[in-house]
């Protein structure tokens, strides 16, 4: 059997062919990354800075919401999160910071996964905003009724929630109104009802007063005391007797252009962020 073995001649070209084949395989598996143009580098840095700005804004909003929750009650168990308006700041800040962080890391680390997550979240938010705007246009009457119900709820819980108290005071002071339909709506509040105990009984908040400042600088918190026990003429000399429902509706209709401009600006900012992310993703 040994005599039958035939020794093949050795050639150094065989090793060269193997090396060439290995280099070709490596070239297929690990291609050289394309060199980015200066414009692509600028787009990548701009996408990072763009998302970094919104990340800081989101963290600021989140901090304001958390501060508002803790300022009213140091114990989290005593905070009614279901109806607390500061929860909106927390959710908005958390959502904005999470999406912006994904955009920052995706642009900085050139991560397709993070960039796709960022694009999906921006498209989802934009779609919800457009859908909400269309629903508001189609249900303007129901929106006005919802605002009136919300204002009535604020009147009932005026003394229980500092945020609602601040909101009601700002509306009544800026629009020069009192109550929902008239100043008599404050009779439904258990603290301002004429049968309630305490100094506030049969009165209205100081934000209803025509001149709430004493001596031109100090807020007179007692200017609305006893107004509900007066006649319409006597009460009109002290407080604003008109309700805030109709005035608020007219003010919102007058601000429709500004609201539409603000919504369009938000959508434009989201579109710019999405286009930058798409360009970076395409370069990757």
- Give the global pTM: 0.64
pLDDT digit string, tens, across residues 178-224? 988 888 889 888 888 888 887 788 889 888 998 877 655 677 778 88
Tokens of 225: 């005391």
Quote the tokens at residue 193.
């009802």
Alpha-carbon dihedral angle through residues 251, 132, 163, 145, given to the nearest 10 degrees: 60
User: Which pLDDT score is estimated for 212?
Assistant: 77
What pLDDT shows up at residue 201? 86
**CA 16 to CA 282: how far, in whole Å?**
38
Q: Which residues are CB-contacts of 236 (< 8 A; sequence separation ≥ 6)?
A: none
Alpha helices (H) in 73-222, listed in sequence order? 86-109, 112-138, 140-156, 162-175
Q: Per residue in 199-227, is it b (16+ CB within 10 Å) or e — as a string?
A: ebbbbbbbbbbeebeeeeeeeeeebbbbb
Which residue has 């297929």 as its token pair?
A: 28
Q: What is the pLDDT of residue 26?
A: 42
pLDDT at residue number 75:
43
| Partner residues linked to 218 by β-bridges | 214
For 35, 109, 111, 169, 189, the CA distances from 284, given in Å and listed in that order, are 10, 10, 8, 53, 62
pLDDT at 211: 82
The answer to whether residues 91 and 69 touch, using CB atoms and an 8 Å cutoff, is no
* Residue pLDDT, tens place only, 72-100: 654 444 445 455 667 888 888 898 899 99
Q: Please report the pLDDT score of residue 56 as a whole number.
A: 93
Q: What is residue 136's predicted lDDT score, i.e. its pLDDT?
A: 73
Q: What is the pLDDT of residue 270?
A: 87
Ranges in the chain, pLDDT < 70: 1-37, 72-85, 139-141, 144, 214-217
pLDDT score recorded for residue 28: 46
Residue 60's pLDDT is: 93
Backbone angles phi, psi at 91, to 5 degrees: -65, -40
């Amino acid at each position: 059997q040994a005599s039958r073995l035939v020794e093949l001649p050795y050639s150094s070209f065989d090793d060269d062919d193997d090396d060439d084949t290995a280099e070709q395989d490596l070239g297929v598996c690990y291609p050289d990354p394309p060199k980015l143009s200066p414009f692509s580098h600028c787009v990548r840095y701009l996408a990072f800075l763009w998302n970094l700005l919104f990340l800081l804004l989101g963290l600021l909003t989140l901090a304001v919401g958390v501060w508002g929750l803790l300022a009213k009650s140091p114990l989290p168990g005593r905070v009614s999160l279901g109806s607390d308006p500061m929860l909106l700041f927390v959710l908005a800040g958390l959502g904005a910071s999470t999406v912006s962080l994904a955009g920052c890391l995706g642009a900085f680390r050139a991560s397709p996964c993070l960039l796709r997550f960022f694009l999906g979240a921006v498209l989802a938010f934009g779609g919800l905003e457009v859908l909400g705007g269309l629903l508001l246009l189609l249900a303007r009457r129901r929106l006005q009724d919802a605002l009136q119900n919300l204002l009535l709820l604020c009147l009932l819980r005026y003394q229980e929630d500092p945020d609602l108290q601040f909101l009601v005071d700002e509306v009544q002071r800026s629009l020069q109104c009192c109550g929902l339909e008239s100043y008599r709506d404050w009779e439904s509040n258990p603290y301002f009802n004429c049968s309630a105990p305490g100094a506030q009984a049969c009165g209205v908040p100081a934000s209803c007063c025509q001149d709430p400042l004493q001596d031109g600088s100090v807020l007179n918190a007692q200017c609305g005391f006893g107004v509900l026990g007066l006649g319409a003429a006597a009460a009109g000399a002290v407080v604003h007797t008109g309700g805030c429902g109709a005035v608020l509706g007219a003010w919102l209709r007058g601000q429709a252009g500004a609201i539409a401009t603000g919504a369009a600006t938000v959508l434009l900012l989201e579109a710019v962020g999405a286009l930058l992310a798409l360009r970076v993703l395409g370069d990757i």
